[in-house]
Amino acid sequence: MAKSAPQLDWCIVRLSKDLNWWVKETSDTVHWDVDGLSIIDPRQVSHMLELLEPLRDYGFDADLLDAAFISFGIDKDLGKGQVRLTRVNDLLIESEDKLFALPDIMDEETGPYADFLDHVMKLRVKMLNDMYEFEQQLTVDEVEDELREEQNNSLIEGTAVHLYNEVIAILDYVPAGWEVDEDDDKPDAGGEDEFPDIEDHEAEDKEEAEKLKADATLRWDEDDEEKKETGEEESDSEDEETDEEEDEDSRTV
């Protein structure tokens, strides 16, 4: 599928303190404003693709993913947390290379990135309604309103919303009170399996105890016993010396 932004050939990105990447400079200064423009790094791309996988069962359209993101590869490390990226034709979902993904937001309201968000939002809501027995079916409008409120709160606090967080907020969304612990679906076998690490802890405790026993600073009992034995030996030695001196005196007399 043809990509928009044909004049965007390269960009320079910087790593922020929160370990997110932000665009500092682009080859197309006419159509792209780098103020607050974020880019998704390879690690985040991998996680996003992983979360998109379950949506295939609900009709996920990979072409919308392809159109929504512009792929970039690393060209040069500029130092000081900055990297120069060059545009590549590889598809995110097919490439084995580590690619950065810049959401195509030249038209934020009706562009390919907006279409992608709408698509995954509908599929996520459909999947949640299939997974949980809600009293009332969850709607796209409800989810959109909740996520939009969270974004507005971040903006009010002066925090820029990274586009990766915008996507993940949809793919990870679960209504309040319906969050499920990942371990909840694992059967509870009881017995030893209930506390699988107990033997490890016991082994660690024994090892620690041996270390404490070997610690010279904690051997005060043994030191006392040694001192007593040494004292008794010294006392016996003194008594023997005294007896020898008396014998010599008596022979002299």
Q: Are residues 31 and 128 in the same domain?
A: yes
Q: Among the three residues 153, 171, 189, which one is the final residue of a domain in this structure?
A: 171
Q: Are residues 89 and 206 in the same domain?
A: no
Provide mean pLDDT across the span 148-177.
Answer: 88
Which of these, 3, 105, 124, 118, lies nearest to 57 by C-alpha position? Answer: 124
Which of these, 150, 197, 172, 134, lies nearest to 55 by C-alpha position? Answer: 172
Q: Is residue 2 part of a domain?
A: no
Q: How far, CA to CA in Å, does 230 sit from each of 87, 222, 234, 238?
A: 82, 12, 6, 12
Q: Are residues 154 and 211 in the same domain?
A: no
Q: Are residues 160 and 206 in the same domain?
A: no
Measured CA to CA, the distance from residue 79 to residue 175 in angstroms comes to 42
Q: What is the pLDDT of residues 168-226, one digit of tens each?
A: 999 999 988 876 554 444 333 333 343 344 344 444 444 544 444 444 333 434 444 55
Q: What is the pLDDT of residues 65-81, one digit of tens each?
A: 999 999 999 999 999 99
Residue 157's beta-bridge partner residues?
none
pLDDT for the residue numbered 53: 95
Query: What's the structural domain count of the chain?
Result: 2
Q: Is residue 185 part of a domain?
A: no
Q: Are residues 63 and 136 in the same domain?
A: yes
Q: Among the three residues 120, 153, 171, which one is the final residue of a domain in this structure?
A: 171
Contact criterion met (CB below 8 Å) for 85 and 100: yes
Whole-model pTM above 0.85?
no
Q: Is residue 178 part of a domain?
A: no
pLDDT for the residue numbered 3: 59
Q: Is residue 74 part of a domain?
A: yes
The chain-wide mean pLDDT, for the chain, equals 78
Q: Are residues 165 and 202 in the same domain?
A: no
Q: Is residue 144 part of a domain?
A: yes
Q: Out of 59-68, 120-129, 177-186, pick the least confident.
A: 177-186
Q: Are strands 100-103 and 82-87 parallel, antiparallel or unpaired?
A: unpaired
Band of residue 239 on the pLDDT scale cut at 50, 70, 90: low
Q: Are residues 154 and 230 in the same domain?
A: no
Tokens 């790593």, residue located: 15
Q: Are residues 244 and 152 in the same domain?
A: no
pLDDT for the residue numbered 241: 54
Contact criterion met (CB below 8 Å) for 34 and 12: no
Print the domain residue range for 61.
Answer: 10-171
